[in-house]
Amino acid sequence: MNDQTQAPQGLSPYVSVRWQGDTLGQLELLDQTILPDRVEMVPIRSVQEAHEAIVALRVRGAPAIGIAAAYAVVTGMQSLVSRRASIGESLEHAKSLCDYLATSRPTAVNLFWALDRMRRIIDRNSNLASALELSNQLLREARQIHDEDRRMCHAIGEYGASLFEHGSGILTHCNTGGLATSEFGTALAAILTAHYQGKEIEVYADETRPLLQGARLTMWELQQHSVPSTLICDSMAAQVMREGKIQYVIVGADRITARGDTANKIGTYGLAVLAKHHGIPFFVAAPSSTFDLSILDGADIPIEQRKPEEITLAFGKRTAPENVSVYNPAFDVTPAELISAIVTEVGIIHPVDEQHVRGIVRR
């Protein structure tokens, strides 16, 4: 056992999203495109800047996108508050902000979940007198979404950590830590909680091509928390499993259907197949806001297609000849039958099927 049992219930040493001040305050994001070189909070001064930040992955990870979008609605209302626009105009404008932000990324359902909550505030408050009063309500809701996510992360951490035996190797993919959420994370929260409980674990992080969220972000977060960890290329996972170094795989999710099919970062499905072949439990960790109970079949989850340059001009360096044909889906779908359990803030779903999903996630 290590001696680091004091650290967490506390806060993450960094935050991905924060709101400074009151309704006329400012949204700030930790710019994840420049990590691990620089740790910089960037101000978001307009809803267009927020949209760009989500598309460019300055803020990324399903829960963090939802939180940032909720605050961005408040940012987009500020000019109306300043010029004391009528409540009628303010309500219409607030709705159009939600519609616009919903066009930023298609797969992570937390974005639509958070914007639906903001829309409900707009619909419920047509009796208010001013843009300021409406914006105050919207900021309250955004803060609420943010606070709930903090609590969800900690609960997922506790449930998830209970799955890991002392002395295990744990493989994870993409980034699911404090950077991808309000703080602490989902799959990474399970790992960090186990670490701070004193369980001896070794984390293997896939680098996560093409944008290296595992190498740049997960390895950085694991370092901040002093968790023993090793970086591997995505293509090494099978070999590392075969060598007996991995006892569990745990990943996050961008959207989970009512029967448990799970969209997550491209490469996740392949890992699940490999885990099955090697007899290794494959866990997903996600808050209930990541479930889309209106969909049963994972084939109905919209998969984001991203620019070819992410593969041919990786981080500004030419990595393939010009004019090659490229296919760049950002996510894949792991069928429920390959998932051993899904860890949520309200309990662990096992076995993963419609009955057990609906038994735990009640919305």
Binding site for ligand MRU (CB under 6 A): 57, 60-63, 108, 174, 176, 180-181, 185-186, 213, 252-254, 264-265, 330
CB 11 within 8 A of CB 151: no
Give residue 305's identity as a one-letter amino acid code.
Q
Residues whose CB is less than 8 angstroms from the CB of residue 266 and which lie 6 or more positions away in sequence, other chains included: 329, 330, 331, 332
Backbone angles phi, psi at 165, to 5 degrees: -80, 150
Residues whose CB is less than 8 angstroms from the CB of residue 6 and which lie 6 or more positions away in sequence, other chains included: 196
User: What 3-state DSSP class applies to 363?
Assistant: coil
SS3 track for 3-62: CCCCCCCCCCCCCCEEEECCCCCEEEEECCCCCCCCCCEEEECCHHHHHHHHHCCCCCCH
Give the active site residue among 149, 254, 292, 332. Answer: 254
- Residue 83 CB, shortest distance to ligand MRU, in Å, is 35
What pairing do the DSSP bridges indicate for beta strands 201-206 and 255-257?
unpaired
| Closer residue to ligand MRU (CB): 85 or 194 | 194
- Residue 186 CB, shortest distance to ligand MRU, in Å, is 4
Please choose, from the candidates 298, 300, 287, 315, the residue with its C-alpha nearest in 3D space to the C-alpha of residue 354: 298
Give residue 22's identity as a one-letter amino acid code.
D
* Residue corresponding to tokens 């993963």: 352
| Closer residue to ligand MRU (CB): 90 or 229 | 229
- Residue 255 CB, shortest distance to ligand MRU, in Å, is 9
| Catalytic residue list contains 147 | no
- Residue 95 CB, shortest distance to ligand MRU, in Å, is 25
| Closer residue to ligand MRU (CB): 132 or 330 | 330
| Closer residue to ligand MRU (CB): 62 or 349 | 62
- Residue 217 CB, shortest distance to ligand MRU, in Å, is 8
Count of alpha carbons within 13 angstroms of residue 225, beta-carbon side: 35
By Cβ distance, which residue is nearest to ligand MRU? 252
| Closer residue to ligand MRU (CB): 23 or 218 | 218
Q: Which residues participate in catalysis according to the annotation?
A: 254
